[in-house]
Amino acid sequence: MCRENKEFFFILFLFLLFCFIVGVLRAEEQGPWYLISEAELRSIERYKEISEAEKLTWLSQVQNLKLRAVRLETESGSLNSQLSQAREQNRRLEKSFDEYVQGQLMLISSKNGEIADLKQEAAAERLEKEKARGTSRARLIVIIALAGSWVLFLAYKAYRFFRPSVLR
C-alpha cells in the first residue's frame, strides 16, 4: 500500500502542479498582444499629457466659473435688495407726489372758484357801471334839456323885455 500511496501522491502532486501551472499561465495571459511602433507610443503619451493638461485647464476654468458664479450670486442678491429698496422709495415718492398733485388740484380748484367769483363780481360791477353810466347819461341829457329850456325861457324873457315897444 505504500507504493500505491506513493503513486497516488505522485499523481496527485502532478495533477496539482498541472493545475497550478495552468492557473498561473491563465493568470499571466493578458489577452492578445499588439505591436505598436515607438512613434505611435510617443504620440499616445503626448496625447495623454495634452489630455491631462486640458483636464487641468478645464478644472481650473470650472473653479473660476464657480467662484464667479458665487460672486455674481452675491452681487445679484445685493442688487435685488437695492432694487426692492428703490421700488419701495418709488412707491413712497409716487404716493407723496399723488398727494401733492391732489393738494395742488384742490388749490387750483379753489383758485378757479375764487377767479370765477371775482369774474362774476367784476361783471356785476361792470353792469352796475354801465347802468350808472346810462343813468348819468340820462341825467346829463335831462340836465342839458332843462338847461336848454331855461336858456330858451330866459332868452324869451330877455327878448320880451328888450323887445322894441313898437311891436306892442
Residues 6+ apart with CB under 8 A from 36: 44
DSSP three-state, residue 131: helix
Binned at pLDDT 50, 70 and 90, residue 9 comes out as: confident
Task: Flag whether pLDDT at 80 surpasses 90.
Answer: yes
For residues 29 and 31, what is the distance between their CA atoms, to the nearest angstrom?
Answer: 6
Amino acid in the structure at residue 110: S
Q: Could you tell me the residue ranges of all domains in the chain?
A: 42-163
pLDDT, residue 30, reads: 61
Which cell numbers hold the place of 2?
505504500
For residues 122 and 130, what is the distance between their CA atoms, to the nearest angstrom?
Answer: 12
Amino acid in the structure at residue 118: L
For residues 130 and 140, what is the distance between their CA atoms, to the nearest angstrom?
Answer: 15
Task: Flag whether pLDDT at 141 surpasses 70.
Answer: yes
Number of H helices, E strands in the chain: 2, 0
